[in-house]
Amino acid sequence: MQYYSLHNNSPKVSFQEAVIKGLAPDKGLYFPEEIEPLEASFFQNINRYSNNEIAYELIKQFVGDEIPIDTLKEIIADVLSFDFPLVEVESDIYSLELFHGPTMAFKDVGARFMARCMSHFNKTNPNQVTVLVATSGDTGGAVASGFLGVKGVDVVILYPSGKVSDIQEKQLTTLGQNIRALEVDGVFDDCQAMVKKAFLDTSITDKMQLTSANSINIARWLPQMFYFAFAYKQLKDTSKKLVFSIPSGNYGNICAGMMAQKSGLPIDLFIASTNENKVVPTYLDTGIYEPKSSVQTISNAMDVGDPSNFIRIEKLHGHDFEKLKNNLHSYSFTDDETRKAMRNLYDDHHYIADPHGAIGYLGIKKYLENNNAQCIFLETAHPIKFLPVIDPEIASKIEMPEQIKSVLGKEKVATKISVYEELKSYLLE
C-alpha cells in the first residue's frame, strides 16, 4: 500500500514511512492510494468473527506486507485487550462505550496501535524518533500510556494550560520515563500550530526525526475504523437504517467511520455532533468553510477551530459538496444544552454520560425530529474525567475506576512554554 499527500506535492511513501513521518513534506496529510471494499458477505456474517478477526480484515490492506501477518495479529490482540460494549439507552438509540481501555478514552486504540507499529519498525530503524503531539484532552493521556517505555521513541506532549481536566492532566504529566509534557499558555489551536511549525522547521528536522501521534498520523487514525464494525456486530437488528453520531473536534474519529463505510460497512449516515466550535455545521449550512479560533467549552476535547482531518473527509467524498451533505449532517450545541442532556440521560434513562457523549446523544435527538433510524452515539471518554462539569448529584454516583486511581496520587511534571521558540529550544536541547 502506498500513501500520498493530500496536497499532492510530495512523493508517495510506504505505510512505514507514513507512520514515521506523520506529516508529508508539503504539509499534507497522508491518504491511502486505494481503498478496496471487503466482500459484502463479511459484514453479513460479522457475528461469526471475533473482534480481533474483524480488526485484522479491516486494517490489513492499509498495512500491506510491511508487518508480517502473525505480528500484525499479535499487535491487534494486544491493542484490543478490553471491551467495547453497545448499551441500549432508549428504543433504537445506543451508546457505544469506548472508554474501557487504560486511559478510559476512545483514543486508547489508535495510540496503542501506533505505538506497537512504531516499536516493530524501530527494530530496523537505527534512529531515535520523537513523537510530537498536541492534545485538547484525551489524546495526551492515550499517547503517553501507549508509548510508555517503547524503545527508540521519545514523546513530547503539548497541552493548553487550564483547558484540560485535572484527571486528563495527570494522565499526561505523571508517567515519566520517555514521556514529557509541555504546558502551553494558550488554547489547543496554539499547541497544534506549534507542532505543525516544528514539523516544517528544518533546523529541527535536520537534527531529529519527528512524527505525530495526533489523528493526522495514519496509524492513529485508521484503527478507529474498528469501533464502527464492533458496534454493528452487536446490533440486534441490522435491517434498519443505521446512523452514527460522533462527538467531533479534529474529525479523525468520524473520518475513520467513513473509511469503514468505504470498506463496505453498511452505514447510512453520519452526524458530526459538536460544541460551539462549529466550523463544519456552518460549512454544511452555507457552503463556506472558514476555520476560526477555538472556543473553550465543557466538552474540551472538541475545542478545535481548524479540524485537521476534514480534508480527508472531503477526499472520501470526491470533493463533491452535495455528496458530502447526503452522507453527513452536523449540529452544534451549547454548554447549557450539554448539561441538560447529561441530566436528562440520567433522570430518564439511568445513563451517565460525559459531556462529549451527551453531545453525541443530542445530535441523534436533533436528527430524529424529522427522521427515523436506528442510531448509535459514541461515548468517547469515561465521565469520571469530567467531574467538575457534571451535576454533583450525578457525579456522586460515579465510582472511581482503577485506571484513574493509579494516577491521582502522582506528581505533575510539566514545563511551561508560551511561544514557538521555547518549543524549538526544548526540542533541540
Q: What is the largest CA-CA distance in the chain?
A: 58
Active-site hit among 12, 21, 73, 107: 107
**Distance in angstroms (rounded) separating the CA atoms of residues 250 and 260:** 18
DSSP state letters, 328-389:
EEEEE--HHHHHHHHHHHHHHH-----HHHHHHHHHHHHHTTS---EEEEEE-B-GGGGGGG
Q: What is the CA radius of gyration of the chain?
A: 20
107 is catalytic: yes
Strand partners, 239: none
In sign, the C-alpha dihedral spanning 384, 388, 389, 391 is positive
Whether the CB-CB separation of 365 and 333 falls below 8 Å is answered with: no
**Distance in angstroms (rounded) separating the CA atoms of residues 145 and 159:** 16
Whether the CB-CB separation of 353 and 341 falls below 8 Å is answered with: yes
Cα distances (angstroms) measured from residue 271 to each of 160, 226, 357: 27, 18, 13
Closest CA to 71 of 33, 123, 106, 110: 123
**Distance in angstroms (rounded) separating the CA atoms of residues 171 and 388:** 17
Check residue 186 and give left, alpha or beta (phi > 0: left; psi -120 to 50: alpha): left
Strand partners, 153: 129
Give residue 284's Cα distance to chain centre. Answer: 22
CB 169: neighbour CB atoms within 10 A? 23
The catalytic residue positions are 107
